[in-house]
């Protein structure tokens, strides 16, 4: 099984901040890495797939980089609606998720 480790598990930030969340795979997953956002009471939302491709409709302040085992999700300038939980997910070998990063004010 491929284990996905996100860091940090929680993060305090302010509107306008640049924020980076890291996801590490226990073995290479090439670029089979997706990022999701989840807000309380709402359906999780796909942000980025294949490591760096922005899903249609997702603001350009979100970006993803990485390949192999190390990946990052960056929010260039935090907006109030970005305070949520973020999850990475690998689709290289079956499917597994990181434990999540809670982004708080």
Question: Which of 69, 82, 98, 103 contacts another protein by CB under 8 A?
Answer: 98
> What tokens appear for 91 in the block?
């689709």
User: Shortest gap between Cβ of 76 and another protein (angstroms)?
Assistant: 22
User: Shortest gap between Cβ of 105 and another protein (angstroms)?
Assistant: 23
Which stretch of DSSP H or E encloses residue 65?
A: strand 62-67
**What are phi and psi for residue 88, nearest 5 degrees?**
-100, 160
Owner of token pair 């226990």: 26
Binding mask 37-76 for another protein (x = CB under 8 A): ----xxxxxx--xx----x---------------------
């Amino acid at each position: 099984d491929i284990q996905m480790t996100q860091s940090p598990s929680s993060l305090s930030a302010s509107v306008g901040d640049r924020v980076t969340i890291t996801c590490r795979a226990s073995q290479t997953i090439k670029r089979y890495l997706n990022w999701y956002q989840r807000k309380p009471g709402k359906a999780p939302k796909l942000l980025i797939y294949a490591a760096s491709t922005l899903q249609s409709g997702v603001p350009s302040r979100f970006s993803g980089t990485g390949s192999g085992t190390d990946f990052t999700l960056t929010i260039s300038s935090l907006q109030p609606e970005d305070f949520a939980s973020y999850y990475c997910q690998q689709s290289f070998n079956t499917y597994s998720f990181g434990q999540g990063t809670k982004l708080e004010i």
